[in-house]
Amino acid sequence: MGLSGGIDSTVSALLLKEAGFDVYGAIVEIWSENSAGGQSGDEREKPWFERACCHLPMVKFLCEEYLHIPYVRIDQKQNFQKKIVDVFREGYHNGVTPNPCTDCNAEIKIKTLIDWAEQQKISYVATGHYARNHYSVRNRLWGIAQALDRKKDQSYFLSRVPEHVLRKVLFPLGHWTKDKVREFARSKKIPVEEMVENMEACFLSAKNVTSFLKREEEAHSSGNWNVTDINGEKIGEIPTGIGLTKGQRKGIGVANSERIYVKKVDVQNKVVIMGSKKDILNRNFRIRDPLGPLFQKKITGNLFVKFRSVMEAVPCIEKGDLRFELSNENDGVTPGQIAVFYDDEQMVLGSGILEPEEEMS
């Protein structure tokens, strides 16, 4: 059982115990105790092992006092730095918006849990993610689908985990709501109010990407960036465009009489191109690095896509050569982010990384 020290993984462990499973806890360590990251204020003062994503003292406390299960600590600090944090930085320096949580689930957390379980000859791995194990009769596929609690659904963040791996992963909370989870935890006397919850990248809990990247940017860059409209007319200057993302409106640092949004971050020329809401809409998109049965076999039924975890899946059709067309224009087509495809039953059929607009034509 992958444990974070949070309420969801704790309740999942309890449910598995009550169902008759022999449960072993495991926490994947991804930060060293002296990691400072890019945080400020109170967040900077907290050691990384006391963050919501990997709260070691809380895991120890819960396993010993409430769950009564053995647990192990699995060190993945170097891999996390190399495969997640460094790739995250590289993405922004290439002018795209990476998605570290999907990468972390696929490359670090679930992979690590599966590898450890296999070494111990343990049949299944479980996590506290909100997603449903699902079998599609129509397409004869095992996989995952959106959770009953759509507000908490995390199928999007699991979309880069290969199908053969997902067959070995259980999601006890797939048919639970968050309110029900809290109610159950309180009934078991678990200290719900003392447990931290984090729905963002663990190293960006202050929601300040630019600050996180600032020191590295200052080290290899000099001079301001130009901010222009879509016609190339200069609007203003900002210290850096690194950390900005397509569709962003606030925190740019330039004033304008009308609402304007980031359309493109041109790293090579140090230019941020702004546009109206209409200017950032797309109807067509293309992906790279496709993963999932959608790209391996004939799939029947309607196709839907999400570009963000919190958005409703919208209809789309395949156009060939990894190109797709939406039924309506959408502002979520952001290069570097993940496009996750679903069927009529909200089952994940596949995913891919969104290409820049110039690669879509």
**Residue 61 to residue 227: CA distance in whole angstroms:** 51
Q: Which residues are catalytic?
A: 104, 202
Q: Give, in order, the Cα–Cα distances in Å from 187 to each of 41, 111, 139, 184, 241.
A: 35, 33, 40, 5, 49
Task: Report yes or no: 309 and 153 within 8 Å, Cβ to Cβ.
Answer: yes
Say how far apart CA 240 and CA 248 lie, in whole Å.
14
Q: Which of 308, 345, 289, 292 is nearest to 154 (CA)?
A: 308
Q: What phi, psi does 349 have (nearest 5°)?
A: -100, -20
Contact 212, 85 (CB under 8 A): no
pLDDT tens-digit readout, 101-130 = 999 999 999 999 999 999 999 999 999 999
330 has pLDDT over 70: yes
Tokens 């495809």 -> residue: 341
Helix (H) or strand (E) holding 317: strand 314-320
What CA–CA distance (Å, rounded) separates 28 from 111? 10
pLDDT digits (tens, 9 = 90+) for 270-296: 999 999 999 999 999 999 999 999 999
Strand partners, 142: 135
CA 188/CA 330 separation, integer angstroms: 44
Give per-residue pLDDT as tens, 227-255: 999 999 999 999 888 888 999 998 888 88
What are the structure tokens assigned to 76, written together? 């993945």
The one-letter amino acid code at 189 reads K
Residue-level pLDDT at 15: 98
- Which two tokens mark 272? 């941020």
Q: Quick one: the chain helix, strand, coil %, rounded to 5? A: 30, 25, 45
> Which residues, at least 6 apart from 202, have a Cβ–Cβ distance to it below 8 Å?
30, 31, 48, 51, 52, 53, 54
What pLDDT was estimated at residue 219? Answer: 52
Structure-block tokens of residue 154? 């995390």
Query: Would you state the pLDDT for residue 95?
Result: 87
Report which of 18, 209, 19, 3 is spatially closest to residue 100, judged by C-alpha positions.
Answer: 209
What's the predicted TM-score (pTM) here? Answer: 0.89
| 58 vs 154 pLDDT, higher one | 154
d(CA 133, CA 143): 6
Task: Determine the pLDDT at residue 194.
Answer: 72
What domains can be seen in the chain, in order of their start residue? 7-128+172-194 (3.40.50.620), 221-279 (2.30.30), 281-359 (2.40.30.10)
In this structure, are residues 158 and 113 in contact, taking their beta carbons and an 8 Å threshold? no
Rounded to whole angstroms, how far apart are CA atoms 23 and 1? 7
Q: Tell me how far CA of residue 124 lies from CA of 127, 136, 170, 214, in angstroms.
A: 10, 21, 7, 42
Spatial separation of the C-alpha atoms in residues 135 and 128, rounded to whole Å? 20
The pLDDT value recorded for residue 212 is: 67
